[in-house]
Chains A and B, each alone.
Chain A
Amino acid sequence: MNSIKDLTKTNKEKAPKEIIFLCVLYLSISIAIITLMTLIFDILSTGSNRLFSDYEVGLVTKQQINNPQDFLTSLDSRDPLKAGIGPAFVGTLWLMIIVVFTTFPLGTGAAIYLEEFAPKNKLTRFIELNLTNLAGVPSVIYGLMGLAVFVRLAGFGRSVLSGGLTLTLLILPVVIVASREALKAVPDTIRQGALALGATKFQAIFRQVVPSAIPGMVTGMVLGLSRAIGETAPLIFMGALTYVNYYPDSPLSGFTAIPIQVYNWIGYPQAEWKNTSSAGIILLLVMLLTMNSIALIIRNKFEKDW
C-alpha cells in the first residue's frame, strides 16, 4: 500500500518542478501516440477506398473489380486500379513459413544450450557478446551476406528459400535473446525440485524448464517474425523481383514480397498509385497487428506467475 503512486496522492500540493516534469512526460508520450495515429489515419484515408470499394475499370471494355478479394488475388498491373497484390502476398506467406521452420528450432536450440548447458567460460561470453552485437547489425548487411552465401555459394539462386533464410539470420539473434529471457524467468527452484526428485539434468530441462518457457519463446518468435515480414532492404539485395506474373510454387521459385511491391508502387508518377500502395500497407499492417495480438494472447494466457 505504500507504492509511489499512493504516496504522491496523500501529498496533494505539487511542487512547480513536479508539474513541469509531468508535462514533459505527457508531451513525450503524446508525440509518440500522435505520430502513430497520424500515420494510421493517413494510410487508412488514402487506402481504404481502394481496398474495400467495388468499381469498373477500362475505357472500352469494362471490367468489374470486387475488392478486397480482387486486390488480394490479382496480379500486379500497370493500371493502379487493377493492380493486385496476389503474388506478393503469397510470397510473404512463403517467407513466413520458411522463417518459422528454420528460426524456431535454431533459435530455441541455441537459447537452451546457452542458458542451460554452456559452461561459463570465455568462449561462451564471446558467443553472447557476438549475439548482442548481431542483433544491432543493419538489415542491409544481412542482405549482402544472404546474396553471397545463399544465392551464390549455396546455389539457391534468387529464390524464396534464399530470402527466407536471410530473414531467419536477421531475426535469429532477437529470437535467441528473447528465448533466453524466457528460460531465465523460470525459477531455479523448478530445476532443483526436479533434480531432487531424481530426474536427470536432461529430464529436468526438457520436461520442466522448457515447457514452462514455451509461451515466452513463442512470443519472441512471433515478434521476430513480424519484424521479418516488414523488411525490404535485405530482400532488395537478394534480388526479390519487382514484377512476377505467377505464384511461387516451390522454395526455389522467384518471388516478390509485400514491402517490395509497396515500395515499387509508391515510386510511380501517377497519383492513383498512392492509394494502391496504401492498400498494400493496410494489408501489411493487418498482418503485423494480427501477429502481435497473437503474441500478446499467448503471453497473457500461458504466462505462469511463479
Chain B
Amino acid sequence: MNSSKSKFWLTMALIITACGGSDASETTNDTVANESAVVNTTVASETATKSLSGEILIDGSSTVFPITQAVAEEFTILYPEVNISVGVSGTGGGFKKFCPGEIMIADASRAIKDSEAELCKENGVNYLEVQVGIDALSVVVPTSNTWATCLTVDELTLIWTADSSVTNWNQVRDSFPDAALDLYGPGTDSGTFDFFNEEVTGEAGSRSDYTASEDDNVLVNGVSGSEGGLGYFGLAYYEENKDKLNAVQVDAGDGCQSPEAAFEGNYFLARPLFIYIAESAKDLPEVKAFVDFYFEAIDAIVPAVGYVPMLEEQKSESLNAWLEFSK
C-alpha cells in the first residue's frame, strides 16, 4: 500500500512539473529524480524475493468482474510492480478483444460461442477455459408477495416466452390471486439474459414487453416497489436485498430448490463462471503467477463477493487443467 501511495505522489509531482513550464523545471526535476531513485530502491529491496513486473490485461463479463478485481487487488499486495487492468466489456465484448490477441485473460459468464471460437482460430489464439465459480440466477418477488414461493420451470417458461399473453398472476396458476404481473429483467446484451433464456424459454426466445435494465440495482428497486413484480438477476443482488425481496424457489421436476441449493450443485438456474487464458500469455511469469494465485484465492473470494464456490471436484478439475496447460 505504501508503494502505491508513493507512486501516486510521484505521478502528481511529474504532472505538476510537466505543467510548470521551463523556468522552474530544472530544480524540481532534480528533486523528482532523487525521490524516484529513493522510491525505486526501497521498492526493490522490499520485493527482492518477489520481483515480478509487467502488465496483465483482462477484460470481459461484468458478472465475473468482482471476482477478478478482488483477486487482482490481493495480488497487488504481493506484487505491487505488476500492472493489472480489468475492463468490463461484457462477455461478448471481452472475446472480441481476446481473440485478436489484445488481452491475455477474458472473463466470461458463459462458454465461448462457436463464432467466437472461430475468430480465435483465425487469429491463431489458443486458449484454456477454466471455471472459477458459480452464479445462481435468482428469480425474485417483493416480500409483500405471499403466494409465489415456488414456480416450476414450465410456469417460468409460460411467463417469459416470446409473445406470452400472461399479464396476471392468476393466469400462471389458478390458485394465485388476481394481481397484475410486472416483469423486470436484464437487457439482451447481458450474459444473464442469454443464460436464463437458454434454460427457460429455449428456442422461442424471451418476450420483450418487460422492463429491461443492465443495472441490477434498478431491477431490485423495480421489483421491490411493485406488488405483482417478478424479476431475475444474479445471486449477489438478492443476497444484499433480502429485506426487500423473496427468492422464488424453482422446481425443475425434482422438487422446489432455492438459489442456496447451488452450493450443493442442485439448483436449476446455476451457471458456471469462467476465465479464458491465452496460450501466448501462459509463459509470462506474471500471468502464470496471477492465475496460480487466482486458484489460491477463489475459495475465500468467491463467497465474499456474493457468488457460489465450485464443488471440490469442479475445482480440482479446473486446477488440473491449468497445471497441465501451464507446464
Contact = CB atoms under 8 A, between A and B. Distances in A.
A271 to B, nearest CB: 7
Given A243-B72, A269-B306, A90 B11 contact: yes
Interface in B185-228: 215-217, 220
A90 B305 contact: no
B76 A267 contact: no
B63 to A, nearest CB: 12
Interface stretch (A14-22, A28-36, A72-80, A217-225): A72-80
Interface stretch (B111-119, B236-244, B267-275, B278-286): B236-244
Given A239-B87, A244-B83, A269 B236 contact: yes
A247 B236 contact: no
B15 A246 contact: no
A270 interface: yes
B256 interface: no
B5 A76 contact: no
B3 to A, nearest CB: 11
A194 interface: no
A269 B237 contact: yes
Contacts of A241: 85-87
Given A75-B76, A97-B15, A241-B85, A267 B7 contact: no
Given A90-B11, A97-B19, A74 B5 contact: yes
A82 to B, nearest CB: 9
Interface string B291-310: 00000000000001110000
Nearest to A267: B215
B176 interface: no
Contacts of A90: 8, 11-12, 15
Given A78-B73, A78-B304, A269-B216, A247 B85 contact: no
A210 B291 CA distance: 59
A236 to B, nearest CB: 9
B1 interface: yes
Interface residues of B, number: 41
A256 to B, nearest CB: 8
B89 interface: yes
A237 to B, nearest CB: 10
Nearest to B62: A267
A210 B56 CA distance: 49
A216 interface: no
A245 interface: yes
A77 B216 CA distance: 20
Contacts of A249: 11, 14
Given A74-B5, A269-B217, A264 B15 contact: no
Interface residues of A, number: 29
Contacts, number: 91
A90 to B, nearest CB: 5
B4 A75 contact: yes
A248 B239 CA distance: 36
B19 A245 contact: no
A143 to B, nearest CB: 13
Contacts of A264: 88
Contacts of A86: 4, 8
B97 to A, nearest CB: 8
B66 A78 contact: yes
B87 A78 contact: no
Interface in A182-224: none
Nearest to B214: A267
Interface in A74-106: 74-78, 86, 90, 93-94, 97
A47 interface: no
B65 interface: yes
A242 interface: yes
A269 B83 contact: no
B18 interface: yes
B8 A270 contact: no
B237 A246 contact: no
Nearest to B18: A97
Interface string B305-325: 110000000000000000000
Contacts of A271: 240
Given A246-B85, A247-B11, A268-B66, 9 more contacts: A74-B5, A76-B73, A90-B8, A90-B12, A97-B19, A246-B84, A264-B88, A269-B216, A269-B237
9 closest A-B pairs by beta carbon, nearest first, are A269-B240, A243-B86, A246-B83, A78-B70, A247-B11, A245-B76, A269-B237, A73-B8, A241-B85
9 contacts: A73-B5, A77-B73, A78-B66, A94-B15, A243-B86, A245-B73, A245-B85, A246-B7, A267-B216
